[in-house]
Structure 1
Amino acid sequence: MEALINLLLQFGDLNKQQIDLILSKASELSLRNEEYFSEAGKVPRYVGFVLEGVFRFCYYNNKGEEITNYFIDENNFVVDNQKFESQVEASEYIQAVTDCSILVFTKKDWDEISNTIVGFEMIKANIVKKCLTVAMERRSPLVSEDATTRYLSFLEAFPMLINRIPLSYIASYLGITQQSLSRIRKNIR
């Protein structure tokens, strides 16, 4: 819980009473490897803060192939923010890649925090802005780089994930086959 508060305090000031309110609204949720935090076709139920574990955002393309879009690990928020805030059906999945422990807030509780704490909307907006900027910085090179460079960029962006998640998810994220990824890994050792 301390990590959550430390993150929030990077984006705005909160007093003890406000912090206590936030913590009172949080509940802990555990997900096993491969369980879904949010599913396409369903309205997202929670915004979560990852205490332990790794999640991936994924979807199915028009050929029915599963595409990994992004990874989220410890001390980050996990949510399909736009769909959660507007309470409409998600178009992608958020799946636990490892066993995960997260603090979750329901939409009702998240809104109550926003409506009670002056300035919390700005804290949320700044967190979303930072997350989008980081996501763009990590995703943009994947469009223009060759596969080896994309893999090296992945290692730089997600240094702690390489031994925690299946290579098939990494290959999907990089837009290459698992065989190509194995070849690249072999060549750079």
Structure 2
Amino acid sequence: MEELFNFLLQFGQLNQQQMELIRDHVFEKTIKKEDYFSQAGRVPREIGFMRSGIMRVCYFNNKGEEITKYFMEERNMIVDIFNFEAKTASTEYVQAVTDCEMIIFTYDVLQMLSATIVDWDRILGKIRERALLSKVNRISPMVSEDATTRYTMFMEKYPGMVNRIPLSYLASYLGITQSSLSRIRKQLSGSNSRAGYP
């Protein structure tokens, strides 16, 4: 639970009593690898703080192909905020890439916290702002970049994620085939070893 409070305190002040109130009303949940946290066609009912693991946001295009929009790792809030607040059906899926440990806020709990904790709406507003900015930065890189550049940019930006994500998901995110991604990885590891890297 400490990870959650460390996260929340980046956005505003909470006293001991308020933290206890939050602690008493949230619950922990494990989402197994490949299970869904939320699904397209359903109204999202929960906001999750990720204690550990990686999730991906994906959708199906008009050809029926599954497209990965972005990945989220631990110490982030995950929710389809627009549909959550409007109580409308989501158009995207949120799926666990690895086993994920979550701390869950339900809609009713958030309403109660909003009515009880003076600063709560401001804290949530700041989290929402950061999440939107983060979402824009995480969305699949520009197709104008070549595939190798897209992959190296991803490795530089998210070094801790590369070896935890299945190749099929990463290829979908980068907008290339899995075989192209395998070829790029081989080429890069070959050039690294020639350059004297381990």
Superimposed CA distance per residue, residues 120-146 of structure 1 (whole angstroms, 9 cap, x where no aligned partner): 111111111112212222337434322
Distance 1:140 1:63 in 2: 18
Shift of 1:13: 0.8
Other-structure match for 1:97: 97
Between the aligned residues of both structures, percent identity stands at: 53
SS at match of 2:142: helix
Deviations 1:104-131 (A, max 9, x none): 0110001111221112111111111112
Q: How do 1:53-72 and structure 2 match up within 5 A?
A: 53-72=53-72
Counterpart CA distance in 1 for 2:14 and 2:90 is: 31
Task: Using the TM superposition, name which of 146-155 and 89-98 deviates more.
Answer: 146-155
What does residue 42 of structure 2 align with? 42
Partner residue in 2 for 1:142: 142
Cα distance in 2 for partners of 1:141, 1:33 equals 25
Give the match's secondary structure for 2:153.
helix
**Which whole-Å CA distance do the structure 2 matches of 1:61 and 1:177 have between them?**
16
SS of the residue 2:91 aligns to:
coil
Partner Cα separation in structure 2 for residue 111 and residue 184 of structure 1: 48
User: In terms of Rg, which structure is larger?
Assistant: 2
In 1, Cα distance between the equivalents of 2:55 and 2:96?
4
Cα shift at 1:66 = 0.2
The separation in 2 between residues aligned to 1:48 and 1:54, in whole angstroms, is 12
User: Aligned Cα RMSD in Å?
Assistant: 1.3
Secondary structure in 2 matching 1:42: coil
Which residue does 1:74 correspond to in 2?
A: 74
**Counterpart contact for 2:60–2:66, Cα < 8 Å:** yes
Partner of 1:184: 184
More displaced, 155-164 or 12-21?
A: 155-164
Name the aligned partner's letter for residue 157 of structure 1: K
AA of the residue aligned to 2:28: E
Alignment partners' CA distance in 2, 1:80 and 1:134: 13
Amino acid at match of 2:73: D
Shift of 1:82: 0.9
Alignment CA distance shift 1:57-1:146 (3 Å): same
Aligned to 1:86: 86
Residues 10-43 of structure 1: CA distance to partner in whole angstroms, max 9, x if unpaired? 1111111111111111101111111110000011
Unaligned runs of 5+ in 2: 190-198
Aligned counterparts of 2:144 and 2:117: Cα–Cα separation in 1: 43
| 3-state SS of paired residue (1:75) | coil
Moved over 2 A (4+): 137-144
Which residue of structure 2 aligns with residue 24 of structure 1? 24
Alignment pair present for 1:167 and 2:136: no
Distance 1:119 1:100 in 2: 29
> 1:114 corresponds to which residue?
114
Counterpart secondary structure, 2:148: helix
Paired position in structure 2 for 1:129? 129
Give the structure 2 partner of residue 51 of structure 1: 51
Output the TM-score relative to the length of structure 2: 0.91
